[in-house]
Amino acid sequence: MPFLSTRALKGLQQYQYKSGGYTIFDQWHQPFWNGITNLLPTWLAPNLITLIGITGLIVAFLVTATMVPEIQGQAPVWVYLMNAAAVFSYMHLDCIDGKQARRTGSSSPLGQLFDHGCDALSVHYLLACVATSLSLGSGWQSVMGMLSIMGPWLLAHWEEYHTGTMTYGTSTWGLTEANYLVITLHLWTAFFGVGFWTSHPSQLLPFIQPYLPAAVQGIGPYLSWADFQFNHLVLIAMGGCSIQLASQQVWRVLVQGEGKLQPQEKGHKALGQEAAVSHAAQMAAFMGLGVWWLLEPMHHGPAQAHVMGGAFGLLYALEATKLVMDHMAKEPFEIFWWPLWLLGGLILNSKLHCINPALAAWLAATAAVAKYLQYVLSIIDQICQFLDINCLTIKHKTI
């Protein structure tokens, strides 16, 4: 059964890309990106560039999951260097695919969809490797770190659906800067080890403790100065940025909302404050069930933490890609509901132990891979046939 109607395909055909703006750092990189693009062969399809980049991230994740199955502990230095190289490569390849499309006259709505789809897929792989470099383990710390990035990323596309503009950062801070920060984090771990992140500021800066408020020194195991670790500082920074971004995104949609959309951008979208709240509630329900499942007590199997995280990451990529697809096709948005039923069943199973939770995690991951590939390959095939283009090769040029 095809996922896209003829109306959706026609809406996609009329889609026009709108840049979200560039940071100062992006502007500095433009000569470098343009120079690299000019060195590429003209037969190289833009989507193939993106695919090479995401493949590097996936390989880095699989190696990291194999070497550090519990998301904590020291790995060989080359693992962290590989993660830094994978993020560096993906970041720059992701920035030149559009330039290659314009250079070869092969720009199409599929290219934008493919780009955002790969970005959605990359979120979990990148975050899992960051959690490993920080030695966060498989508990609440990794989950909260993941949520602090996944939430605003999804809300950015929710905002784009309702306002026509995706804002993810400011004129001085955006995705390029964030990616360089991730690269720096991996390199720091490579040179100083995970022991730095699990060490306590109280050990390195004992003279600070007498000046801390008593509340900071004594409330709970997570706020105790003696138990506080450097990786907790990273989590606090991520959480603070997440709250700021999310609150701004919600404000822009619910206060400004539909009025920012041009008439030709509305199509058949479900717009307005009521629709925006409904869409946000659906995504919140999905994220909430995912977090609940990931926080369930572990019944350890081989790399179960990575298997559970990987399964949820694929479901997240599926829901995010559908949101991007509905935005570009100007169609009413509704999430896929079966992932929520799957997550609910996994949570129930973790309580009742109907089947081994480790086996359940592997089954969920298998289902997630199958359904994700089914959706992605199906819509790519439909779009290619409708637009008379190829996905990974340049069929013909339109200047």
Enumerate the active-site residues. 116
Q: Is 20 exposed, middle or buried (0-12, 13-18, 19+ CB in 10 A)?
A: middle
Cβ-based neighbours of 70, under 8 Å, separated by 6 or more: 137, 138, 303, 305
Distance of CA 146 to the CA centre of its chain: 9
Which helix or strand (DSSP H or E) is residue 303 part of? none
As a whole number of angstroms, the distance between CA 379 and CA 371 comes to: 12
Taking residue 145's Cβ as centre, other Cβ atoms within 10 Å add up to 22
Contact 313, 128 (CB under 8 A): yes
- The residue type of 267 is G
Cβ-based neighbours of 387, under 8 Å, separated by 6 or more: 13, 108, 109, 110
Residue 179: C-alpha distances to residues 123, 126, 228, 244 (Å):
11, 10, 26, 19
Task: Give one word for 73, left, alpha or beta, with left for phi > 0 and alpha for psi -120 to 50.
Answer: left
